[in-house]
Amino acid sequence: MAADPQDPLHQPRQALAAWERDLRPARESRRLLWVVLAVLLVFGAWRASEWLLTQRRATPPSGPFPTVRLPAVPTPVAQHTSAKADTPAALAAESYGVNKCLSATGQAEYSDRPCPTGTQASTVWVQSDVNLADGMSPAERAASRLNNQAAVAAQLQQAERQVVVQGTGSTRGNCAALEARIRWIDAAARQPQSAWQQDRLANERKLVRDEQFRARCQ
């Protein structure tokens, strides 16, 4: 079949005018694509280097490990505390003297200074740890209580004898003896005592106070 020369499809193609070329869409630039590819390559290389560093850190090093010497720990030395010997010399070293000043009226005063003129001076020995019951074991507490009771009883008897000698047969001497007994009962009550011992001292103190009231002591 012969081609129709009037058919526009078989006519020779003519050059496009300028306005026709402007109607065509512009070709997309490939520069942006290359930039994106470069960024992806750089990111992939960075991730690969990070992974290699992580694997290298996680892998234990081969070869002999260095020897680390730790400082020597000092061995604790057991210290044995020797018990105090209850000897007269040891008790004397732990006691101190207090001046007891007895006036002419039979009133007794205690001081670490010299007694005033006109009073009778005597020395009363007191244990330095007589009131220190904290930190003692039950056995040490019981032994200290017995020693304190004996010391208080001996000092009380000595004080009563001194007052009785100076004030025999006089009301004033009797009042001084009662007052001295009250003082020593108070001193004994301040020591670590059992409950029944404290009750006994309280009852004895009440009896002495009643006797002072009957004797009209000032």
Q: What is the number of other CB atoms lying within 10 angstroms of the CB of residue 101? A: 18
The answer for 140, left when phi > 0, alpha when psi is -120 to 50, beta otherwise, is: alpha
200 inside domain: yes
Strand, coil or helix: 193: coil
Number of domains in the chain: 1
126 inside domain: yes
Please provide residue 194's backbone torsions phi and psi, each rounded to the nearest 5 degrees.
-75, 170
d(CA 100, CA 107): 10
Q: Are 101 and 91 in contact, with CB atoms under 8 Å apart? A: no
pLDDT score for 207? 92
162 versus 144: the higher-pLDDT residue is 144
Q: Are 205 and 180 in contact, with CB atoms under 8 Å apart? A: no
Half-sphere exposure in the Cβ direction for 212 (13 Å, CA): 16
131 inside domain: yes
* DSSP type of residue 97: E
40 inside domain: no
1 inside domain: no
96 inside domain: yes
Confidence band (pLDDT; 50, 70, 90) for 13? low
143 inside domain: yes
163 versus 37: the higher-pLDDT residue is 37
The parent domain of residue 180 ranges over 89-214
Strand 120-127 versus strand 108-111 pairing type: unpaired
15 inside domain: no
Average pLDDT for residues 156-168, to the nearest whole number?
60
For the chain, the first-to-last Cα distance in angstroms comes to 165
pLDDT score for 108? 82
